[in-house]
């Protein structure tokens, strides 16, 4: 059974160490900053086995060069269509990446939208489903669209929603409370959302992280996974003044609403 170590970075980033069951080796997911990663590896006496990259933004790749200086020869996996220095194994989606040192296989998913080449890594260690999803989906929210498209990000979220509901989503930022604030604009009467807010606030008050989150929880409280529901469509149409003909249009209007009036 894999063991996951959280490495906080910057003001709100999470870098993930996916360790073998003895916590002797680890794959490093999205190391935007090398220093806290190296500190975590050394303090836990862990040998890095590989680096997994989801997309090209610097807060996900900025630590690669320093990690390679400290640990020469590490394999670096990442999206083939994005210009990321030091990638040694380029992935286009639907591959299976096996890292023998941690006895773990990752199924590569195309989850375009936040960036045009964004990928994610899905794994099951025999006990737990996990998705290392970068900035595609967050707890109670989703990433902005940069050089991808609204349609791509909507389709990527729909793809994630089809995973087993017990999948843990390992996103890369602690944005939960802010995302819940916007979600309450969309569904102000949601009992599930209000309960989630109380739980998440208590965790933050105790300096606990709110991610990973369960996909089942996201499907009941994340408005960007609920664009097919009539009351969500109606709310977004009223707030944006748009006629919305399908789930993709609802998603795009909601994301734009959040970008321009909430974030």
> Does the annotation mark 154 as catalytic?
no
> Does the annotation mark 135 as catalytic?
yes
Joined together, the tokens standing for residue 115 give 């960036």
Residue for token digits 């609204």?
A: 150
Catalytic residue among 20, 33, 118, 173: 173
> Does the annotation mark 231 as catalytic?
no
Catalytic residue among 30, 33, 60, 154: 60
Residue 52 near residue 83, CB atoms below 8 Å: no
> Does the annotation mark 80 as catalytic?
no
The full 3-state SS of the chain, as one line of letters, equals CCEEEEEEECCCEEEEEEECCCCCEEEEECCCCHHHHHHHHHHCCCEEEEEECCCCCHHHHCCHHHHHHHCCCCEEEEECCCCCCCCCEEECCCCEEEEHHHCEEEEEEECCCCCCCCEEEEEECCCCEEEEEECCEECCEECCCCCCCHHHHHHHHHHHHCCCCCCEEEECECCHHHHHHHHHHHCCCCHHHHHHHHHHHHHHHCCCCCCCEEHHHHHHHCHHHCCCCHHHHHHHHHHHCCCCCCHHHHHHHHHHHHHHHHC
Catalytic residue among 20, 30, 33, 114: 114
Catalytic residue among 118, 135, 154, 155: 135
Catalytic residue among 20, 33, 55, 155: 55
> Does the annotation mark 86 as catalytic?
no
> Does the annotation mark 228 as catalytic?
no
Catalytic residue among 30, 57, 118, 154: 57
> Does the annotation mark 114 as catalytic?
yes
Output the CA torsion sign for 146, 111, 6, 183.
positive
For the annotated catalytic residues, the residue numbers are: 55, 57, 59-60, 114, 135, 173
């Amino acid at each position: 059974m894999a063991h996951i170590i959280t490495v906080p970075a910057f003001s709100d980033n999470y870098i993930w160490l996916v360790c073998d069951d003895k916590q002797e080796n680890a794959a490093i997911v999205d190391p935007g900053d090398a220093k806290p990663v190296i500190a975590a590896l050394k303090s836990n006496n862990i040998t890095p086995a590989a680096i997994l990259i989801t997309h090209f933004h610097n807060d996900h790749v900025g630590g690669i060069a320093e990690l390679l200086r400290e640990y020469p020869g590490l394999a670096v996996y990442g999206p083939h269509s994005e210009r990321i220095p030091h990638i040694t194994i380029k992935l286009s989606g639907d591959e299976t990446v096996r890292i023998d040192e941690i006895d773990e296989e990752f199924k590569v998913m195309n989850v375009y939208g936040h960036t045009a080449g964004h990928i994610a890594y899905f794994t099951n260690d025999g006990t737990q489903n996990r998705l290392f999803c970068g900035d595609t989906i967050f707890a109670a929210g989703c990433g902005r669209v940069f050089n991808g498209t609204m349609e791509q990000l909507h389709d990527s979220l729909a793809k994630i929603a089809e995973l087993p509901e017990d999948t843990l989503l390992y996103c890369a930022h602690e944005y939960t409370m802010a995302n819940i604030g916007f979600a309450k604009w969309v569904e102000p009467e949601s009992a599930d959302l209000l309960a989630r807010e109380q739980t998440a606030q208590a965790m933050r008050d105790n300096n606990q992280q709110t991610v990973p989150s369960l996909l089942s929880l996201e499907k009941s409280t994340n408005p960007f996974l609920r664009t097919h529901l009539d009351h969500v469509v109606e709310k977004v149409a009223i707030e944006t003044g748009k006629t919305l003909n399908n789930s993709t249009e609802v998603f795009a209007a909601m994301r734009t609403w959040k970008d321009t009036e909430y974030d």
